[in-house]
């Protein structure tokens, strides 16, 4: 029999079929282990065993203690600081890249970075000559490390998705936050956008809870310093809810709270996806006298945070999105197609 005839000869099915059992692995860096544990509990899996440590000279080390070969490896690691673990945002970023590289080197089928807080996201464009576009550089670094896709939440701006050549799945905590405030049944509620860049988000937020909308005119004379000059809309005698994507030093929130109170607001609430509290955040929040500040657990908070800071978990959303990615489903279906808010 010639080679051509042999190639045409029907082969047994067992010779043609590749037996392959798809496997999901969830692992966590040190940035937010509690969030990874909540996701694992909902997925019904164990958090994978990974050795992570920082050497005396400050270098980061990681090693998977079990095989990752052929698995879809989901690495839960927001690139934020975690003082309890003794790591900085830069440590978290480097740790994420090393975990990605180790998974790729261990022959993982796919490597997905679950990074609900995307560090350096505020540096998404040049605001002055000779500045880096840091958010773009982080995207290049993660892709160079070997990620197959990124799963993130409420990016500071939509253009960050364009920095990736790999799929970037964008989630939003909008529905968690709107449901929470809808359940409070606050009277005379007005949603307040802290600046023009957040108007579209706040319009959607206000529509979903049936509230009015006001807009603040914000200027930044210097980095991490905000100045509110006037309020567009009626807040007099109402309950103001200031909605933003993240809280850093809370300087913007404090200035916004003062502005709406000066214009007659009776009570002031605040909501944001990311509670990246830093610098004098707690002092600024205390001075602003908010009724409540609501954030999600994309970034871990210290256990001794103020009593009026409430943390809602985004673990259910992350779990649903991870399931969709693993089963090659649609992430946008989790949000009814409303996960692009820019």
CB-based burial of residue 8 (10 Å sphere; 0-12 exposed, 13-18 middle, 19+ buried)? exposed
Contact present, 150 and 142 (Cβ < 8 Å): yes
Q: Are 113 and 151 in contact (CB under 8 A)?
A: yes
Whose CA is closest to 234, among 205, 207, 265? 265
CATH of domain 23-173+316-335: 3.40.50.2020
| Residue 338: pLDDT over 90 | no
How does DSSP classify residue 87? B
Q: What's the CA gap between 226 and 297, in Å, rounded?
A: 25
String of DSSP letters for 311-327: EE--HHHHHHHHHHHHT
List 216's β-bridge partners, or say none.
Answer: 231
Radius of gyration in angstroms for the set of CA atoms belonging to the chain, rounded to a whole number: 23
Determine whether domain 174-312 maps to CATH 3.40.50.1100. no
Q: Give the C-alpha separation, 222 to 119, whole Å.
A: 21
Residue among 22, 126, 166, 218 flagged as catalytic = 218
Q: Please, which residues have CB within 8 angstroms of residue 267's CB and are 6 or more apart in sequence?
A: 239, 240, 291
Q: Is 218 a catalytic residue?
A: yes
Task: Identify which of 247, 150, 204, 243 has the alpha carbon closest to the alpha carbon of residue 341.
Answer: 204
Domain with CATH 3.40.50.2020 in the chain: 23-173+316-335, 174-312
Q: How confident is the model at residue 64 (pLDDT cuts 50, 70, 90)?
A: very high
Would you mind telling me the total number of residues written for the chain in this entry? Answer: 342
Q: What is the pLDDT of residues 82-99, one digit of tens each?
A: 999 999 999 999 999 999
* pLDDT at residue number 6: 40
> What stretches of the chain show up as alpha helix (H) in DSSP?
3-8, 13-16, 33-43, 89-105, 134-145, 174-184, 199-209, 251-262, 281-288, 315-326
Q: Any idea what DSSP says for residue 75?
A: E
Q: Which residues touch 254 (CB under 8 Å, ≥6 apart)? A: 284, 285, 287, 288
Question: How far is Cα 182 from Cα 209, in angstroms, rounded to an integer?
Answer: 6
| pLDDT, averaged across the chain | 89
Residues 190-205: pLDDT tens digits?
Answer: 999 988 777 888 999 9
Give the Å distances, CA to CA, from 211 to 188, 207, 233.
Answer: 8, 6, 12
The set of residues, in sequence order, having a beta carbon less than 8 Å from that of 121 and lying 6+ positions away, is: 135, 155, 156, 157, 160
- Is pLDDT at 13 greater than 80 in this prediction? no
Mean pLDDT for the stretch of residues 124-134: 92
| From 11-15, 62-66, 215-219, 301-305, the region with the lowest mean pLDDT | 11-15
Average pLDDT value for residue range 276-297: 93
Q: How many CA atoms lie within 13 A of 154 on its CB side?
A: 28
pLDDT at 293 exceeding the cut of 70: yes
Positive or negative torsion for Cα 2, 5, 10, 13:
positive
Given a cut of 50, whether residue 20 has pLDDT beyond it is no
């Amino acid at each position: 029999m010639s080679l051509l005839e042999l190639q045409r000869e029907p082969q047994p099915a067992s010779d043609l079929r590749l037996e392959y059992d798809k496997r999901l692995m969830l692992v966590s860096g040190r940035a937010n282990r509690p969030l990874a544990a909540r996701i694992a509990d909902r997925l019904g899996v164990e958090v994978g065993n990974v050795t992570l440590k920082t050497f005396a000279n400050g270098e980061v080390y990681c090693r998977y203690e079990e095989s990752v070969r052929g698995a879809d490896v989901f690495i839960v690691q927001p690139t934020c600081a975690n003082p309890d673990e003794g790591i900085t945002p830069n440590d978290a970023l480097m740790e994420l890249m090393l975990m990605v590289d180790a998974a790729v080197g261990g022959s993982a089928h796919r490597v997905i970075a679950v990074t609900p807080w995307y560090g350096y996201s505020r540096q998404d464009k040049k605001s002055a000559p000779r500045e880096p576009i840091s958010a773009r550089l982080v995207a290049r670094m993660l892709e160079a490390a070997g990620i197959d896709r990124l799963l993130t939440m409420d990016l500071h701006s939509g253009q960050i998705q364009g920095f990736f050549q790999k799929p970037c799945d964008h989630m939003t905590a909008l529905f968690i936050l709107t449901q929470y405030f809808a359940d409070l049944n606050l009277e005379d509620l007005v949603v307040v956008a802290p600046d023009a860049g957040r108007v579209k988000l706040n319009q959607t937020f206000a529509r979903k809870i049936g509230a009015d909308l006001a807009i603040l005119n914000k200027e930044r004379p210097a980095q991490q310093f905000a100045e509110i000059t006037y309020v567009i809309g009626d807040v007099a005698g109402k309950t103001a809810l200031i909605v933003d994507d993240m809280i850093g030093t809370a300087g913007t929130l404090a200035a916004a709270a003062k502005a709406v109170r000066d214009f007659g607001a009776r009570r002031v609430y605040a909501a944001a996806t990311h509670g990246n509290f830093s610098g004098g955040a707690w002092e600024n929040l205390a001075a602003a006298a908010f009724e409540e500040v609501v954030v999600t657990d994309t970034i871990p908070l210290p256990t001794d945070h103020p009593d009026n800071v409430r943390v809602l978990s985004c673990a259910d959303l992350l779990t649903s999105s991870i399931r969709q990615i693993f089963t090659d489903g649609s992430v946008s279906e989790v949000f009814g197609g409303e996960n692009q808010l820019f």
